[in-house]
Amino acid sequence: MNHRAMKVIKPAAIALALTLALTGCGEKGKQQQTATQSATVTANVAVVQKTMLPIIVTAPGSVIAEQQAQIASRLMGFIREMNVQEGQSVVAGQRLFTVDPTDIQGQVSQAKAGLAQAEAALADAKNDYQRFGALYKEEAIPKQQWDKVRLQYQVAQQQAVAARAGLGTAAAQMRYATLTAPFAGIITQKLANVGDLAAPGKPVLMLENQSRLQVQTSVSSDVFAHLKLGDSIGLQANGSGTAATGKIARLVPAADPVTHTYLVKIDLPQGTQLKSGMYVLVAFPTGQREAVRVPQSAVLDRAGITGVFVVDGQGIAHYRMVRVGDTSDGQVEIQAGLASGERIVTSATAKLQSGDRIINAGGGNV
């Protein structure tokens, strides 16, 4: 090898040596960085297991009062007094409103006059009956005349009975001039005011007993087939978050001819926070299914990605994205991303990173 060739090789060898040295430094830096990022964390570890969950079908429902009434007058007349307002609580027998009884008072007066005439005619017919009866016994009058007198007396008796009934009817109508509450409850609507004309069949007030509430809903035939009286049903007020549990009180086996659904009524417990008129979601259990559930503490949100830390066979934690379902009783349903038998971290996850080594808080490495 000549001198010029040696001069060329020497710089090349130096460059190669520098490259190898820099590469070695880089690898060493990466190893130091990896060692710095990885950590050993003591945490609780749970084994993922399948469990049985109920199959729930939801249906919209409305809260109604089991006992409610439309208060209307049996008389035709103008409303003279209104004694209640919307939202007011009333007791059974409390006066609600009064209809002007002028027309009925006139009918009562006529009935009284008619009764007086009938009673006077009866008294006269009775006198004739007694007097002609004595004459007939003495054979002083013919039988034909006696039969006529006796018939007049019977007619007078019947007319007196009819007159008394007419007066009783008119007097009873007077009682209908004042409307009272048939049961204790709350006035939910006032449909007329003082001066308005009340008429039979035309509601004036709406009364509800809100101490006895129900939820009314309709379900398909598939859901209806799984229900029975006394079943406990979960209820959720839409928007308010108020929850309650009721019991099925009525199952109407005849389907609606238009919607082909079946009516279901659910009794609410005493003291419920649900109010009449509320919209609720009714949760009907219709069977069971297998599912994976994990503690809520195991589920995280990292950079908008929902996931859990899965521990591999070497005890290293890896963040894995999962799809979650319902959350209840501190447990979250995992719909995708986990399999039965895998191990997950359930505590100390706030600062945990993928690649960290896990020491089971229950003792020993995972």
Say yes or no: 45 and 126 in one domain: no
Say yes or no: 91 and 186 in one domain: yes
Say yes or no: 41 and 109 in one domain: no
Say yes or no: 117 and 160 in one domain: yes
- Confidence (pLDDT) at 143: 86
Mean pLDDT of the 77-83 span? 91
Point out the least confidently predicted range of 130-134, 232-236, 255-259, 318-322.
130-134
CATH assignment at residue 322: 2.40.420.20
Number of domains the chain contains: 2
**Is 90 exceeded by the pLDDT of residue 207?**
yes
Say yes or no: 179 and 120 in one domain: yes
Angle at which helices 143-175 and 102-137 cross, to 10°: 160
First-to-last CA distance in the chain?
A: 62
Cα-based distances in Å from 195 to 81, 111, 175, 189, 288 = 8, 28, 20, 17, 61
Q: Is position 141 within any domain?
A: yes
Q: CA 77, CA 100: separation in Å to the nearest integer?
A: 6
Q: Is position 26 within any domain?
A: no
- Confidence (pLDDT) at 108: 75
Q: Is position 58 within any domain?
A: no
**Is 70 exceeded by the pLDDT of residue 37?**
no
pLDDT digits (tens, 9 = 90+) for 305-358: 999 999 999 999 999 999 998 888 889 999 999 999 999 999 988 889 999 999
Q: What is the mean pLDDT of the chain?
A: 84
Q: CA 156, CA 130: separation in Å to the nearest integer?
A: 14
Say yes or no: 45 and 144 in one domain: no
Cα dihedral sign, 189-194-197-198: positive
- Confidence (pLDDT) at 323: 94
pLDDT digits (tens, 9 = 90+) for 132-171: 888 878 888 888 888 898 899 899 899 989 988 888 777 7
Q: Is position 256 within any domain?
A: no
Cβ count near 281 (within 10 Å): 16
Domain boundary among 190, 206, 237: 190
**Is 60 exceeded by the pLDDT of residue 11?**
no
Say yes or no: 308 and 349 in one domain: yes
Say yes or no: 44 and 74 in one domain: no
- Confidence (pLDDT) at 241: 63
Say yes or no: 116 and 44 in one domain: no
H helices present in 65-142, as ranges:
102-137
Q: Is position 121 within any domain?
A: yes
Cα-based distances in Å from 130 to 123, 134, 245, 295, 331 = 11, 6, 78, 102, 98
Residue 129 tokens, joined? 């009956």
Is residue 49 within 8 A of residue 342, CB to CB? The reply is no
Is residue 83 within 8 A of residue 96, CB to CB? The reply is yes
Length of the chain: 366
Say yes or no: 100 and 43 in one domain: no
User: What's this model's pTM, rounded to 2 decimal places?
Assistant: 0.58
More confident residue, 27 or 116: 116
Say yes or no: 81 and 136 in one domain: yes
Domain boundary among 155, 190, 225: 190
Domain that holds residue 344: 37-53+290-360
The helix/strand/coil state of 6 is: helix
- Confidence (pLDDT) at 309: 95
Give the phi and the psi of residue 192 in degrees, each rounded to 5: -150, 165
Q: CA 206, CA 106: separation in Å to the nearest integer?
A: 30
What's the burial of 338, exposed, middle or buried (CB within 10 Å: 0-12/13-18/19+)?
buried
Q: Is position 281 within any domain?
A: no
